[in-house]
Structure 1
């Protein structure tokens, strides 16, 4: 099993980053909705700080994922895939990578602008790099909300496209990102 991507399959590093980020981002999105239902101030503080802590991890994993993409380029899309689908795939991936950085960065700066500290895993407060700014906090709060919804939309489109490749096109696009695949021709790439 290769650490790096091959011409036909994602390597173990890319797959681990993909699936860990998928789980983390889905958790963060679900937490974002769920936290809106909380009423106890102690629960709100605890879970908002947990959300922020996981967001910081998502930011670092997003940066690592982008760097890894340059170190180990992905396998090419199927040669017979229509040009408009290839453009859509590249656009969706670019949007995802952009949101992997923008969404947590906006959340972090929003915390600073509100004046509420980021207490990493409710243990260690991180320094604020700016003074509170109510007007900026409102803008960043709205931005975090709308980028979150955009992320939901792009993730849904990404998942739908992967399922289309598997069940309709019957190609290998989804299989090459799955954590494990049966060896082909007696070997696993």
Structure 2
């Protein structure tokens, strides 16, 4: 099937930019938490990780605003109803997580008593004070949401590859401009 209906260039750019930042932030999170002790490198990685999170959050706002004013192209692939529903649920969960993961990290950082300063220049408001009682819960929430997102991104990616190489229905070409 030849799908001519593609996402807009802006939607494609936001999708891939957010995806790359999420992957980078996840990998950086794994690396930084494996560094023993408190080193300059670890502190630098934590800053970068936070900057990525803030950027993802801001781009997510732009993406949702764009999506609310630009209807995505209709699904033209012939797939079972359960797959359509699974895709819809996965997409909505991913939208939820691109907000929830950065927010949970932000509140975890504040509860730990560490302010978030975007690019080392713009201090974000401290909406909560240092709070040891909720710090552990927020850390667990942040980690859990991250691994949930990683799993959903994996499922989403595998589904896209299935559509490209097994179904050959053109679904992936809607989000990759160089595919036909």
Counterpart of 1:25 in structure 2 is 22
**Quick check: 1:9 aligned with 2:9?**
no
Determine helix, strand or coil for the equivalent of 1:132. coil
Measured in 2, the distance between the counterparts of 1:90 and 1:126 equals 33
Counterpart of 1:80 in structure 2 is 78
Measured in 2, the distance between the counterparts of 1:37 and 1:25 equals 19
Q: 2:63 aligns with which of 58, 62, 65?
A: 65
Q: Which runs of 5+ in 1 are unaligned?
A: 1-5, 183-189
Q: Is the 8 A contact 1:114 1:133 kept in 2?
A: yes
Measured in 1, the distance between the counterparts of 2:134 and 2:51 equals 21
Q: Which runs of 5+ in 2 are unaligned?
A: none
Q: Which has the higher contact order (CA 8 A, sep 6+)?
A: 2
Counterpart of 1:185 in structure 2 is none
What TM-score comes out, normalization by structure 2 length? Answer: 0.92
Measured in 1, the distance between the counterparts of 2:66 and 2:46 equals 30
Q: 2:129 aligns with which of 123, 128, 131?
A: 131
Between 82-91 and 172-181, report the one with greater CA deviation. Answer: 172-181
Determine helix, strand or coil for the equivalent of 2:149. helix
Q: Is the 8 A contact 1:46 1:122 kept in 2?
A: no
Q: How much is the aligned-residue C-alpha RMSD, in angstroms?
A: 1.6
Q: Is the 8 A contact 1:59 1:101 kept in 2?
A: yes
